[in-house]
Amino acid sequence: MKLDHIHNVYCVGIGGIGMSALARYFHSRGKVVAGYDKTPSDITQTLCVSGISVHYEDSVADIPENFKDKATTLVIYTPAVPSTHQELQYFKAQDFVLKKRAEVLGMITKDSFCLAVAGTHGKTTTSCILAHLLDCRKAAFSAFLGGVSEDFGSNVVLQGGQYTVVEADEFDRSFLQLSPKVACITAMDADHLDIYETTGELHAAFEDFAQKLSDQGTLLVRNGLPIAGITYGIDDESDYCICHVAVQNGAYTFDIKTPEQCIEGVTFHKPGRHNLLNALAAFAMAVEIGFAPSALARDLASFKGVQRRFTYHLKSSAFAFVDDYAHHPVEIAAVYQALTEMHPGKALTAVFQPHLYSRTRDFAEDFAKELSRFDQVLLLEIYPAREEPLPGVSSSWLLEMMDHPQKKLVSKANLIEEITQCEPQILVTMGAGDIGLEVPKIKTALAHES
């Protein structure tokens, strides 16, 4: 089935950030789009408003009749959907054309100039910065993003077809479906060990991804990673390098050294050295496809950010409330670094919702270590997502590992009360589950308190 020949697109898991981007893409191309998701959300509400039908019961009877014609319907699903899903089983039994999200993304981008951002951390922010830079340079491009860009107010950008920006997701080896012309690898820390089993297998998958660019493509790699490519880094001998970093009025100022020149006095407003690296990776990718470095460096200053990536919800001289998607120990460490750099001397209160039983089990000691650096820690129950509980793995088990006098297991029902009792100077909420739904309530309560 060729994409141009399909009439209907049905998405199983349509509320996911990646799936919803595909749904909106096909809807914009005049296809009839519908789908299932487990729970209503802001994303599914936005889809419904745009004219895409969404239902929330796993029921074959709820599939619209026009999507039961296998000759005209493409079914897209995510690996997170269990094989026992009734609708998925129906489509398989009726011999529909079924494609994983990554396969379809590969099909869409195959004939474009694909710019792919890979790495276990930083994909979404780097992709959003790159999309922002291309927009500033008035390039004809589309972007499929893993978060909602604050510059575009969306997780998908459809402004032409010369370039396509995509996140090259290592989960389920999805990134091997892509055909990038230019790519970067931001990090290769152990993760998704339910898929890879060992760090060696994860690294081998990144090697396979890198090989996709070996002939005519361009690969940028964060300095220190065990893969050959054009390097980027901070205060080192990388091909692209940020140096002379300073903090002024809550923003970074720095210089960028490229293989050809040095650009002085660059400004970037997103906190954290990890975000400086994300900005540099996006900048370098745009330079490598021919855009002027000096113009791109100016464009970095106007990047607004990504929802739930070090997002300030309240900020004053006495108090700040930040929300972040951090769900891996390395990401928690990056948030801690950013907070201490931007708010030196302030007491830090962290609210963390672990994501997945397997990830909690695999990195429990590292989670305990990184969380213990905060002055106070409130821990929520594990968000299971696609997983069933694992024996002995729980938030109370993780809490016991933490060598910390100011730690507590809390429920979402009592979360705001617990936060106010902490009297935080700097509050950060972290996690990849549904903790983001609590942020508006926390913001309202704390704004009222102040």
Selection from 63, 66, 48 nearest residue 12 by Cα: 63
Alpha-carbon distance 180 to 212, whole Å?
A: 7
Alpha-carbon distance 171 to 338, whole Å?
A: 27
**Using one digit for the tens of pLDDT, what is the confidence trace for 131-160?**
999 999 999 999 999 999 999 999 999 999
What value does the mean pLDDT take over residues 331-357? 95
When mean pLDDT is compared across 79-83, 230-234, 278-282, the lowest value belongs to 79-83
- Amino acid present at 163: Y
Per-residue confidence (pLDDT) for residue 449, from 0 to 100: 67
Per-residue confidence (pLDDT) for residue 151, from 0 to 100: 97
What value does the mean pLDDT take over residues 207-236? 93
Cβ contacts of 233-241, under 8 Å, gap ≥ 24: 233/277, 233/280, 234/273, 234/276, 234/277, 234/280, 239/284, 240/280, 240/283, 240/284, 240/287, 241/280
Alpha-carbon distance 299 to 287, whole Å?
A: 12
What value does the mean pLDDT take over residues 234-260? 95
What value does the mean pLDDT take over residues 254-271? 96
